[in-house]
């Protein structure tokens, strides 16, 4: 049943040779790798308006200018990453660029930053999607964290089915979101030009400035406020780096297709962001922190009624633009909510790939480098889902709280990546003699240098404005991942050195002392004794632990009646311990013969039903766990198959019969001659 359920959920297994069938064309790669960056335009404007609202509604005049600044940074980053995918198409992305050009420590720093950013991408995207959905579905209010957790689980399950399958499924809502936002912007400006644009629901509201920002529209206070708003708006840049990590998933020519997808991503994201910011500024939209709606006032300056529900920026714009066409409003809200949830798919593609590269280099557990049945990195997908769920529950799926932790990591990787690319071009210019190639390298280095300058400025602004607001948590998480990866690498290095073969390992032991553990004189014990005799040890003895005098006496009597060929040694245990006496006895034998080996044979039952396992072998499992840590002691399990295990084996043999011709053709046929796979 376990295998059948797995096939229903994940689909049929894929052979390693079918990896090429999972490669993505550009039309599918765009929604797979760019959904995060595209969806960021749905919540980045909210964060800009929240920051500006601290100084009152008059500060909203800066919103479109901040949008232009964010768009300029995004286009710069896109141009820079187009150089990355051409120079490093192997999929290592920022990690590979930093490691090759700046050293291992820089690479680990980038990797730790990206890991944190991918986890936050899932948490922020899904939390924001749930909040947008709550604008149309009131029953979600108060249950955002639970709904978000369920969505993470569903998304992880879909990604376990493979990149291509999940990408095909996500393509329609991603393109639908593009159509919704760009269509809303175009239709809204047509209405504005013709004077038919309906006022937004918050147009007549006023905003009471925050107590700490009463005079924020002058001097240093204004600069700091605009810097905070700009840093929050830069959340729209998250996800741009995902394409550089996913180049191997593109069809050939990989780097060219990835670069084209990056350019398309930049053009679409900038158009969507600027249309939202410009339309919101034109229509007089007001938006404050959802937890601080008490600063909103009606046209007469009176507080709003208790329980006032403030809708997101996109929802307010959609309601105004499609005032006379409700399906248009619901289409925009639905596509926004869906894309914000599916934006997490970018992380579900980037995180496992990065984890597999780190595992290959020895900086992460090797289990992260294993592909599952559908050729996806299943362990990385599950690990990412668990971390994201922890964050969602810890912050109650509140986007404004989570976003303070966001984008710090991505700008760390941006800066180190651009610095690494500058060194990359400088190193190659020293050996390149072709004038045309040198001109291209000079142009690429200028682009990366300009990108470094822009991202460095943004990083400083983000760090200064977000550190105390929660960014310190993200930085602490990066330090934690950095130290963990260094420790894992050090462990693997030490183990490799310790396991390196030398001539001493070829020396035969001088003596083998075999011990067969006996609890009862039954078939499993007799089989273990026979197997131990067949190995021809120097010394062979049976050992039992006495915790009950009557039972031990009966065992000795039966042993003598059967005229067993070896002695039965009794280890007395006055405190009724079964494991310690055996461990102490084996250790004492090893100390008496330092160059010898102690072989402990343990009879075990093999059962066929899962619930039977809990009824047998528990003492044997604990004993093996202790003996494995005893130097010079080998543990040998001697299985004895019970009837249930033999019956299960027959069921498995009868379940699928494979004919030689079917095996050559790649087909399996069950006993009813029905094809079940190819």
Residue 605 carries which DSSP code?
A: E
H/E segment holding residue 36: helix 26-52
- State the pLDDT at residue 674: 43
Residue listed under structure tokens 């084209």: 260
Tell me whether residue 552 is exposed, middle or buried, using C-beta atoms within 10 angstroms of its C-beta: 0 to 12, 13 to 18, 19 or more: middle
**CA 345, 349, 352, 357 torsion: positive or negative?**
negative
Residue whose C-alpha is closest to residue 345's, from 97, 133, 180, 165: 165
* Residue 382: partners with Cβ closer than 8 Å, 6 or more residues away: 156, 160
- State the pLDDT at residue 238: 76
Around Cβ 637, how many Cβ atoms within 10 Å? 15
H/E segment holding residue 372: none
Residue listed under structure tokens 């280099």: 361
Q: How far apart are CA 13 and CA 134, in angstroms?
A: 38
- State the pLDDT at residue 161: 72
pLDDT tens column, 592-640: 988 889 999 999 888 777 777 777 778 888 888 888 888 889 999 998 8
Q: Low-confidence residues of the chain, pLDDT below 50?
A: 1, 8, 16-21, 655-678
Q: How far apart are CA 184 and CA 178, in angstroms?
A: 10
Q: How far is CA 314 from the centre of its chain?
A: 28
Q: How far apart are CA 602 and CA 615, in angstroms?
A: 17
Q: How far apart are CA 462 and CA 235, in angstroms?
A: 10
Q: How far apart are CA 342 and CA 9, in angstroms?
A: 19
**CA 312, 316, 321, 322 torsion: positive or negative?**
positive
Backbone angles phi, psi at 569, to 5 degrees: -90, 135
N- to C-terminal Cα separation, the chain: 21
- State the pLDDT at residue 600: 94
- State the pLDDT at residue 601: 95
Q: How far apart are CA 249 and CA 578, in angstroms?
A: 55
Where are the extended beta strands (E) located within 25-126? Answer: none
Q: How far apart are CA 163 and CA 488, in angstroms?
A: 28
C-beta of residue 67 within 8 angstroms of C-beta of residue 48: yes
Q: How far apart are CA 45 and CA 249, in angstroms?
A: 31
Tell me whether residue 174 is exposed, middle or buried, using C-beta atoms within 10 angstroms of its C-beta: 0 to 12, 13 to 18, 19 or more: buried
Q: Can you list the alpha helix ranges (DSSP code H) found in 377-522? A: 378-394, 399-402, 408-429, 435-466, 472-499
Q: How far apart are CA 602 and CA 623, in angstroms?
A: 9
Residue whose C-alpha is closest to residue 60's, from 177, 200, 236, 237: 200
Q: How far apart are CA 586 and CA 515, in angstroms?
A: 8
pLDDT tens column, 143-178: 888 888 998 998 888 777 765 555 567 788 889 999
DSSP secondary structure string for all residues of 265-277: HHHHHHHHHHHHH
Which of 489-518 are b and which e, b meaning 16 or more Cβ less than 10 Å from the residue's Cβ? beebeeeeeeeeeeeeeeeeeeebbbbbbb
Total number of residues shown for the chain: 678
Around Cβ 97, how many Cβ atoms within 10 Å? 28
Q: How far apart are CA 509 and CA 590, in angstroms?
A: 12
Token digits for 398? Answer: 């509140």
Backbone angles phi, psi at 451, to 5 degrees: -65, -40
Q: How far apart are CA 258 and CA 278, in angstroms?
A: 30
Domains of the chain: 24-305+323-493 (1.20.1740.10), 511-641 (3.40.50.620)
Q: How far apart are CA 334 and CA 180, in angstroms?
A: 9
Token digits for 354? Answer: 């990065």
Q: How far apart are CA 579 and CA 572, in angstroms?
A: 12
Task: Name the strands in the sheet holding 656-657, side by side, starting at the edge strand that comes first in the sequence.
Answer: 656-657, 668-670, 675-677
3-state per-residue secondary structure call for 295-355: HEECCCCCECCCCCCCCCHHHHHHHHHCCCCHHHHHHHHHHHHHHHHHCHHHHHHHHHHHH
- State the pLDDT at residue 7: 52
């Amino acid at each position: 049943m376990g295998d059948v359920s797995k096939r229903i959920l994940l689909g049929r297994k894929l052979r390693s040779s079918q990896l090429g069938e999972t490669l993505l064309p550009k039309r599918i790669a765009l929604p797979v790798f760019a959904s995060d960056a595209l969806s960021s335009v749905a919540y980045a404007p909210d964060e800009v308006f929240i920051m500006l609202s601290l100084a009152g509604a008059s500060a909203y005049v800066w919103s479109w200018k901040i949008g232009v600044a964010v768009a300029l940074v995004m286009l710069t980053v896109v141009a820079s990453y187009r150089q990355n995918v051409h120079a490093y198409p192997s999929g290592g992305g920022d990690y590979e660029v930093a490691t090759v050009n700046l050293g291992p420590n820089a690479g680990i720093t980038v990797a730790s930053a990206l890991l944190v950013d991918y986890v936050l991408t899932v948490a922020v995207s899904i939390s924001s999607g749930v909040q947008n959905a709550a604008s149309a579905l009131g029953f979600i209010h108060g249950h955002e964290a639970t709904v978000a957790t369920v969505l993470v689980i569903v998304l992880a399950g879909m990604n376990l089915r493979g990149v291509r399958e999940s990408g095909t499924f996500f393509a329609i809502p991603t393109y639908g979101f593009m159509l919704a936002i760009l269509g809303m912007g175009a239709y809204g400006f047509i209405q504005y030009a013709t004077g038919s644009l309906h006022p937004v629901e918050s147009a007549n509201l006023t905003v009471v400035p925050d107590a700490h920002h009463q005079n924020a529209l002058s001097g240093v206070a204004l600069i700091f406020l605009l810097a905070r708003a700009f840093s929050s708006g830069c959340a729209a840049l998250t996800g741009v780096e995902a394409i550089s990590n996913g180049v191997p998933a593109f069809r050939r020519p990989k780097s060219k297709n990835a670069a084209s997808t990056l350019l398309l991503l930049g053009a679409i994201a900038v158009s969507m962001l600027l249309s939202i910011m410009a339309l919101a500024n034109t229509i007089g939209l007001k938006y404050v922190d959802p937890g601080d709606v008490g600063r909103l006032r009606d046209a007469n300056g009176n507080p709003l009624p208790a329980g006032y529900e403030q809708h997101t920026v996109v929802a307010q714009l959609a309601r105004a633009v499609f005032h006379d066409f409700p399906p248009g409003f619901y289409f925009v809200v639905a596509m926004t909510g869906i894309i914000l949830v599916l934006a997490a798919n970018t992380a579900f593609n980037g995180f496992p790939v990065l984890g597999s590269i780190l595992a290959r280099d020895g900086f992460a557990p090797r289990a992260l480098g294993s592909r599952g049945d559908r050729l996806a990195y299943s362990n990385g997908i599950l690990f990412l889902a668990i971390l994201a769920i922890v964050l969602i529950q810890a912050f109650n799926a509140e986007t404004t709280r989570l976003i303070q932790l966001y984008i710090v990591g991505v700008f760390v990787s941006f800066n180190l990546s651009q610095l690494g690319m500058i060194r990359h071009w400088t190193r190659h210019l020293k050996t390149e003699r072709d004038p045309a190639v040198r001109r291209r390298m000079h142009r690429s280095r200028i682009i990366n240098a300009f990108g470094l300058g822009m991202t460095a400025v943004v990083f400083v602004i983000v760090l200064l404005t977000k550190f105390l607001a929660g960014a310190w948590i993200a930085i602490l998480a990066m330090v934690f991942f950095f130290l963990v990866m260094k420790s894992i690498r050090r462990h693997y290095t030490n183990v490799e050195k310790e396991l390196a073969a030398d001539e001493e390992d070829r020396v035969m032991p001088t003596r083998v002392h075999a011990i067969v553990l006996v609890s009862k004189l039954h078939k499993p014990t007799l089989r273990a004794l026979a197997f131990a005799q067949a190995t021809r040890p120097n010394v062979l003895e049976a050992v039992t632990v006495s915790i009950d005098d009557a039972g031990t006496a009966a065992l000795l009597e039966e042993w003598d009646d059967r005229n067993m060929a070896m002695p039965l040694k009794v280890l007395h245990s006055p405190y009724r311990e079964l494991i310690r006496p055996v461990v102490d006895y084996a250790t004492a034998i090893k100390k008496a013969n330092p160059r010898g080996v102690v072989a402990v044979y343990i009879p075990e039952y093999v059962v066929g039903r899962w619930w039977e396992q809990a009824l047998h072998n528990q003492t044997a499992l604990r004993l093996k766990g202790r003996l494995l840590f005893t130097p010079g002691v080998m543990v040998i399990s001697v299985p004895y198959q019970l009837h249930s295990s033999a019956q299960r084996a027959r069921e498995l043999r009868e379940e699928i019969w494979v004919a030689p011709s079917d095996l050559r053709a790649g087909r399996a046929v069950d006993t009813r001659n029905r094809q079940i796979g190819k």
